[in-house]
Amino acid sequence: MLTTADKRAAFKKLHESGCFIIPNPHDAGTARALQHLGFKALASTSAGFAWTMAKPDNRVTVDDVCDHLSAIGAAVDIPVNADFEDGFAHEPDKVGVNVARAVKTGVAGLSIEDYTGDAANPLFERALAVDRIKAARKAIDADNSGVLLTGRCEAFLRGQKDLNLVIDRLTAYAEAGADCLYAPGISTSEEISAVVKAVHPRPVNLLVFGMDHSLANAAALGVRRISVGGSLSRMAWAGFMKAAKEMAEKGTFTEFANGYPGGELNKMFS
């Protein structure tokens, strides 16, 4: 059994070279399944977890998330990165307090994003966004935890498709102490290459959600890490809703033939 320190060291090592997939489970069971398939690290998904609680994305509490991170970490023997949303606070000092709580769950890494939750003004003002990363860095370093900090710029996901803005923010987050940089929503080879070049030598995380990218393609562009957000959770919901709708609308049960074998699941969790 790996210690928390072992997991954190292994996670940092993964970021030193090559490109790896860090898939996103939504509970302890899906985390164990992904470890069973051979993945070397996992990342939580804010959306996938929220749906398990019958809530929309970005509507869970810091208490909910810390309990969730502890449960996933206890279920697997590989590093876990936390989607820690906006730090569950606006003010930098409060972000720092919450990051310190996340560190205590045993995570190997966590991300802080610059999304305000306000559609009219979706991004924190630049200086405040930078101060929030600095506060997260300070909280992580307070006890020499070794947790890897990812700085996220949400511009592309929030309707501000300005690559210069994204690069400016990501480089500022790197200077503020982010170990890894992430701009969910960038998708073209040109956008990805520009971000990779701008923040080099720090690693870049790429969000893939059905785009024409593969592990090999992302690696060739200089990406270090690939995550899939809530996509695996949506796939699980797709199967559930398809079978449930068939029962509700037709009174038939043919979709059950497509279910994963229960015996295999029992074997995997034994």
d(CA 170, CA 247): 48
Specify the pLDDT at position 1: 82
Sequence-ordered list of residues with C-beta below 8 angstroms from that of 63, at least 6 positions apart, any chain: none
Average pLDDT, the chain: 97
Same domain, yes or no, for 150 and 242? no
List pLDDT tens digits, range 209-229. Answer: 876 789 999 999 999 999 999
d(CA 270, CA 256): 23
CATH assignment of the domain containing 12: 3.20.20.60
Looking at the structure of the chain, the number of domains it has is: 2
Same domain, yes or no, for 197 and 251? no
DSSP 134-177: HHHHHHHHTTT--PEEEEE--GGGGT---HHHHHHHHHHHHHTT
Same domain, yes or no, for 81 and 124? yes
Same domain, yes or no, for 87 and 149? yes
Sequence-ordered list of residues with C-beta below 8 angstroms from that of 153, at least 6 positions apart, any chain: 113, 114, 123, 165, 166, 169, 170, 173, 181, 182, 183
Specify the pLDDT at position 209: 84
Same domain, yes or no, for 208 and 250? no
User: For 229, phi and psi rounded to 5 degrees?
Assistant: 55, -135
List pLDDT tens digits, range 221-268. Answer: 999 999 999 999 999 999 999 999 999 999 999 999 999 999 999 999
Same domain, yes or no, for 186 and 122? yes
List pLDDT tens digits, range 52-71. Answer: 999 999 999 999 999 999 99
Same domain, yes or no, for 69 and 149? yes
List pLDDT tens digits, range 74-83. Answer: 999 999 999 9
Same domain, yes or no, for 236 and 134? no
Domain that holds residue 202: 4-229
Place of tokens 């730090």: 87
Specify the pLDDT at position 211: 67
Q: In the sheet where 225-227 sits, what is the strand order? A: 20-21, 225-227, 204-207, 180-182, 148-152, 109-113, 80-83, 42-43
Same domain, yes or no, for 182 and 251? no
Same domain, yes or no, for 115 and 135? yes
Last residue of a domain, one of 229, 245, 261: 229
Same domain, yes or no, for 64 and 40? yes
pLDDT(188) > 80: yes
The arithmetic mean of pLDDT across residues 173-180, rounded, is: 98
Same domain, yes or no, for 15 and 77? yes
The answer to whether residues 46 and 60 touch, using CB atoms and an 8 Å cutoff, is yes
